[in-house]
Structure 1
Amino acid sequence: MITRNKTPSKYVYYGLYLYFSGLLLRRAAERLSYIFKRNHVSIWNWIQKYHPKRISSKRKRIAEYIIDETLIKVGSQYIWLWVAIEPRNRQILALNISKERNMLIAERFISGLVRIHGKHPVSTDRGTWYPQACRFLNLDHHIHSHYEKSIIERKMQYIKDRAESFDDYFPCKMKNCNLNHIINWLTLFVDYHNKERNR
């Protein structure tokens, strides 16, 4: 009887991380092989099973959405990073990037949350785009309490530091880049972060 060795999840994530960093499959497998022997076909299979566009499809028990946005630098351009967390377990519910910040982008981000997790109250800073978006989506909206402000600011800084570190090590050299490599890497990072918080 042939037994197959299942690859530990930390090595699967590292293989995906290498690929989303911009390495070719063979080069990613070569780097991974320094710590865990797997070939490029294994990494290709992991990519097929991983869906980087969606952070979570499972419904969670959610008290409210705590949402914020911050400006980050990617290569030579600045982009807006949008993040939503849940206050009880502080998991990241959604994450996105945009080149602008306005009511339409805020509404699209929040409507994506509602589509996956249902309608819940929304807590934000004093940005004028949030109340308008919440009214349009028929959601209760309030300004962050001190506690909510504290946890979202810490989480934003945590993500921002890692996003900018990623760009330092793996700068994009493409002209007019669509930034898909950044959103793929951030989504992979969030997926791993949430699994670690669930342990």
Structure 2
Amino acid sequence: MRENNMAEGSAAGTADSNQKTWLITGVTSGLGKALALAALPHMRAAGGGAIVQMSSQGGRMSFPAAGSYSAGKFALEGWSEALSGEVAPFGIRVLIVEPSRFRTEFNSAGVLNWAGKKGEYDGVVGAIRQDMAAADGAQEGDPERAAEVIRRVLELPEVPLRLPLGAEAVANLSRTYEENLAALEKMKEYSVAADFPGMKAAQRAFRQGASAVTPAEPA
């Protein structure tokens, strides 16, 4: 099993974030992907394995002060979803873990990256900054229990692509999915009107049983 848990927290308004903040986000995300790719030849040779990508509830939703952090997690999730379809024929599973707050050092003063502040956004992100700092040592999530849950899920006959961790993540992501589905339905009439009249929706290859592809024999 290969676990990718490379990340650095950043609490700043999107307009406050500087180039260093975005560079750190991109580098940590990129290193995690590189390590996962490095493990793939060994997993293919072994005939299976599991890649656990530590994302966040912030990889499926975002909010003020979490823009750069969520950008990295959104990218990780999109990349991991594509990867899961590519490696499934080799018996390799990909699990994207989406935790809420867990009692690690993530919210500690030495880890949480406070980007430069612009006074005009204090009313929007100030309370969120304070909340994130105050959570240090008081997070409801237990890292040891989380590890055990991940282990149990990986032993299931059908491993899901995504695993929210923690009651807050379940509540927030449930609300996010419901709101997104409602918005999709509300805008559906406008959305489909953009196609040429009389055209049927495309049947893309990635929706036609890609997991059943037989891998090529090694040279």
TM-score (norm 2): 0.24
> Which has more radius of gyration?
2
